């Protein structure tokens, strides 16, 4: 079913009952925001026009890593149809960004890792060729790195494409791994993205979306191909492909919408105030 088949009044009532989220989509052409209500995909807007490498969220605030700077924004609150504010942090060119609790971490293309302390960046160490970040973890060509209060330490694996601080989980060229008594192989294949929430995890492995529900992995038949990223929202699973189509499944099957922005690098869901 297309979202255009649903009346405006029906969408309004549904939004009042379920609440809304904003899906932030980092692309080659900038940061886009897509309004989501349950499994209804609404309007979208292009918020920036600089290539985005990574996106992270914490308590309604988002951080965006692009080739010019790390910018923080309240985009989750009023991104579509509003006037979100973006604040430059002075980090410079960034390839990965994440929140460790409420501490903002960023990594540059040369491997510099720093934490935001008030209005300044505090250098923590070096992590070569970082790809993604989540929590205190960095996914790099050399494996997983963990950012501590005063250092950046190698935490295992190799050729890591993505990490989830919840779990923790890692997506590598050899498969999806979960941290237990060391890193435990959970799913073979080339894993390019991973996300987790509570006792659920989702991973893109060999361009197929899988979900772990605590008992084991199962394929989540997704209408997209060439999958770029996946994330959990409040009661929904989101996915996006490299060409700029987003999909949401809130328990009633997938719905999709094309936003027409290719080169998707990352997605992140932000809960809106009701």
Q: How far apart are CA 238 and CA 224, in angstroms?
A: 11
User: What's the confidence (pLDDT) of residue 38?
Assistant: 85
pLDDT of residue 76: 60
Could you give the C-alpha distances from 23 to 75, 114, 206, 241, in angstroms and in order?
10, 26, 24, 14
Q: Is 54 helix (H, G, I), strand (E, B) or coil?
A: strand
Q: Where are the alpha helices (DSSP H) in 26-169?
A: 75-78
CA-closest candidate to residue 227, choices 254, 210, 207, 252: 207
CATH number at residue 231: 2.120.10.30
pLDDT in tens, the chain (274 residues): 444 343 333 333 333 444 689 999 999 999 999 999 988 999 999 999 999 999 999 988 899 999 999 999 876 655 665 667 899 999 999 999 999 999 999 999 999 999 998 899 999 999 999 999 999 999 999 999 999 999 999 999 999 999 999 999 999 999 999 999 999 999 999 999 999 998 899 999 999 999 999 889 999 999 999 999 999 998 899 999 999 999 999 999 999 999 999 999 999 999 775 4
DSSP label at residue 75: H
The reported pLDDT for the residue numbered 17 is 41
Pairwise CA distance, residues 126 & 111, whole Å: 5
* Dihedral pair phi/psi, residue 67, rounded to 5°: -75, -5
Range of the domain at 251: 3-271
Characterize the bridge pairing of strands 130-134 and 137-140: antiparallel
Number of domains present in the structure of the chain: 1
What is the bridge-based pairing of β-strands 137-140 and 143-147?
antiparallel
């Amino acid at each position: 079913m297309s979202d255009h088949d649903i009346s405006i009044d029906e969408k309004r009532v549904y939004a009042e009952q379920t609440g809304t989220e904003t899906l932030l989509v980092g692309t080659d052409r900038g940061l886009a925001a897509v309004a989501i209500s349950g499994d209804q995909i609404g309007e979208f807007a292009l918020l920036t026009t600089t290539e985005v490498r990574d996106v992270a969220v914490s308590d309604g605030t988002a951080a965006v890593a692009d080739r010019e700077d790390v910018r923080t924004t309240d985009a989750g609150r009023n991104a579509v149809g509003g006037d979100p504010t973006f604040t430059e942090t002075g980090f410079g060119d960034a390839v990965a960004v994440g929140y460790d609790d409420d501490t903002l971490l960023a990594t540059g293309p040369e491997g510099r890792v720093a934490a935001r302390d008030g209005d300044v960046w505090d250098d923590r160490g070096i992590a070569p060729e970082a790809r993604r970040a989540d929590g205190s973890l960095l996914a790099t060509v050399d494996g997983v790195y963990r950012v501590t209060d005063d250092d950046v330490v190698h935490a295992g694996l190799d050729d890591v494409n993505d990490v989830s601080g919840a779990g923790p989980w890692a997506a590598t060229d050899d498969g999806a791994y979960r941290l237990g008594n060391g890193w435990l192989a959970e799913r073979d294949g080339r894993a390019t993205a991973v996300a987790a929430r509570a006792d659920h995890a989702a991973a893109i492995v060999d361009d197929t979306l899988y979900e772990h529900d605590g008992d084991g992995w199962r394929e989540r038949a997704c209408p997209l191909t060439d999958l770029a990223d996946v994330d959990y929202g409040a009661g929904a699973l989101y996915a996006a492909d490299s060409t700029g189509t987003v999909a949401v499944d809130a328990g009633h099957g997938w719905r999709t919408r094309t936003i027409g922005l290719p080169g998707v690098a990352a997605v992140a869901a932000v809960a809106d105030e009701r």
